[in-house]
């Protein structure tokens, strides 16, 4: 009985520690950090969160009202991304969005965030289809032995 209670308490302690450690490690990224990084990627003035928001809005982006000092969540990233033309979704809008996730985001969406077609990152590989001749029409490949 006593052993079962100790194992139960130990399991509860480990579970609590496991749940709180990622939150503490990831919680140091704020909305400010993310917005400033987006403005910098777009080569807009961004010395503060308010300055970055102002620059982005002046550039034509309709950003939502944001609390710059709050911890960045997946919901914040989805809203901000949508406002700059990147469609992302989340099933956990209240989940904390950590530093590693922010780095992965900027790696995956570098072209879209910067607006630079030469930037590295995910995107379409246009022109690699041998059937596309450049005007949107697909042409079949012919063998020299096929009758015309």
Per-residue pLDDT of the chain (148 residues; tens, 9 = 90+): 444 444 443 344 444 444 433 344 444 899 999 999 999 999 998 889 999 999 999 999 999 999 999 999 999 999 999 999 999 999 999 999 999 999 999 999 988 988 765 444 444 444 455 555 555 555 566 666 666 6
3-state helix, strand and coil shares in percent for the chain, rounded to the nearest 5: 50, 5, 50
Which residue is listed with tokens 């919680």?
27
Q: What is the dihedral of CA 60, 65, 67, 72, to 10 degrees?
A: -70
pTM listed for this prediction:
0.61
């Amino acid at each position: 009985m006593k052993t079962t209670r100790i194992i139960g308490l130990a399991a509860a302690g480990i579970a609590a520690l496991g749940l709180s450690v990622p939150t503490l490690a990831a919680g140091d990224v704020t909305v400010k950090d993310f917005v400033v990084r987006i403005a910098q990627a777009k080569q807009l003035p961004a010395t503060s969160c308010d300055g970055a928001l102002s620059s982005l809005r002046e550039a034509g982006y309709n950003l939502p009202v944001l609390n710059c000092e709050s911890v960045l969540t997946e919901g914040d990233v989805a809203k901000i991304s949508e406002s700059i033309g990147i469609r992302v979704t989340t099933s956990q809008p209240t989940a904390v969005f950590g530093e590693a996730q922010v780095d992965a985001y900027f790696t995956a969406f570098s072209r879209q965030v910067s607006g630079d077609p030469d930037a590295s990152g995910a995107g379409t590989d246009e022109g690699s289809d041998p059937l596309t001749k450049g005007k949107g029409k697909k042409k079949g490949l012919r063998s020299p032995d096929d009758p015309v």
